[in-house]
Amino acid sequence: MDTRIRIFDTTLRDGEQSPGAALTAEAKLEIARQLALLQVDVIEAGFPISSPGDFLAVKSIAESVRGPIIAGLARTKDADIDRAYEAVKGASKPRIHTFVATSDIHMRHKMRVTPSDVLAMTEAGVRRARSYVDDVEFSAEDATRSDPGFLCQVFQVAIEAGATTLNIPDTVGYTTPAEFQRLIHHIRDRVPGIGGVTLSVHCHNDLGLAVANSLAAVEAGVRQVECTVNGLGERAGNTALEEIVMALMTRKDHYACSTGVVTEQLHRTSRMVSALSGMPVQPNKAIVGANAFAHESGIHQDGVLKERTTYEIMSPQSIGLSSNRLVLGKLSGRHAFRERLHELGLTLDNQALERAFVRFKDLADRKGELGDSDLEAIVQEEIQGVPEVYRLDYFAVTSGSTAVPTATVALTSSNGRVQEAATGDGPVDAVYRAIERVVNSGAALSDWSIRAVSGGQDALGEVTLRLTHGRHTYLGRGVSTDILEASARAYLSAVNRLAQAPAIKTPSQSG
Phi-psi region of 374 (alpha: psi -120 to 50; beta: other; left: phi over 0): alpha
Indicate the SS3 state at residue 286: coil
According to the model, what pLDDT value does residue 380 have? 62
The overall average pLDDT reported for the chain is 88
**Residue 186, C-beta contacts closer than 8 angstroms, at least 6 positions apart:** 148, 152
Instruction: Assess whether the region 6-277 and the region 391-503 belong to the same CATH fold.
Output: no
Average pLDDT over residues 388-402: 90
Give pLDDT tens digits for 111-140.
Answer: 999 999 999 999 999 999 999 999 999 999
According to the model, what pLDDT value does residue 370 have? 67
Strands 444-452, 416-423: pairing is unpaired
The one-letter amino acid code at 240 reads A
Positive or negative, the CA dihedral 372, 376, 382, 383 is: positive
Phi, psi torsion values for 355, nearest 5 degrees: -65, -40
Confidence of residue 449 (pLDDT cuts 50, 70, 90): confident
Contact (Cβ atoms closer than 8 angstroms) between residue 73 and residue 38: no
The one-letter amino acid code at 370 reads L
Gap between the Cα atoms of 294 and 301, Å rounded: 9
What dotted CATH number matches 6-277? 3.20.20.70
Rg (CA), the chain: 33
Phi-psi region of 269 (alpha: psi -120 to 50; beta: other; left: phi over 0): alpha
Average pLDDT over residues 488-503: 81
Contact (Cβ atoms closer than 8 angstroms) between residue 6 and residue 37: no
According to the model, what pLDDT value does residue 271 have? 83
Q: E strands within 125-215?
A: 136-141, 165-170, 198-203
Closest CA to 161 of 119, 117, 205: 119
**Residue 422, C-beta contacts closer than 8 angstroms, at least 6 positions apart:** 406, 407, 430, 433, 434, 436, 437
Q: Is the predicted pLDDT of residue 503 greater than 50, yes or no?
A: no
Average pLDDT over residues 275-292: 82
Task: Could you please state the CATH topology (level 3) that the domain comprising 391-503 is classified under.
Answer: Double Stranded RNA Binding Domain (3.30.160)
Strands 165-170, 136-141: pairing is parallel
Looking at residue 440, what DSSP letter applies?
-
Give pLDDT tens digits for 85-120.
Answer: 999 999 999 999 999 999 999 999 999 999 999 999
Closest CA to 127 of 100, 85, 159: 159
Closest CA to 226 of 356, 368, 44: 44
Helix (H), strand (E) at residue 226: strand 224-227
Closest CA to 72 of 29, 129, 15: 129
Give pLDDT tens digits for 149-208.
Answer: 999 999 999 999 999 999 999 999 999 999 999 999 999 999 999 999 999 999 999 999
The one-letter amino acid code at 365 reads D
Gap between the Cα atoms of 264 and 245, Å rounded: 11
Lowest pLDDT segment from 66-70, 99-103, 104-108, 357-361: 357-361
Average pLDDT over residues 140-145: 98
Closest CA to 247 of 218, 272, 206: 218
Contact (Cβ atoms closer than 8 angstroms) between residue 3 and residue 256: yes
User: In the chain, what are the domain boundaries?
Assistant: 6-277, 294-361, 391-503
Residue 510, classified by CB atoms within 10 Å of its CB into exposed (0-12), middle (13-18) or buried (19+), is: exposed
Cα first-last separation, the chain? 89
Phi, psi torsion values for 179, nearest 5 degrees: -65, -40
Q: Is the predicted pLDDT of residue 215 greater than 80, yes or no?
A: yes
Average pLDDT over residues 421-435: 94
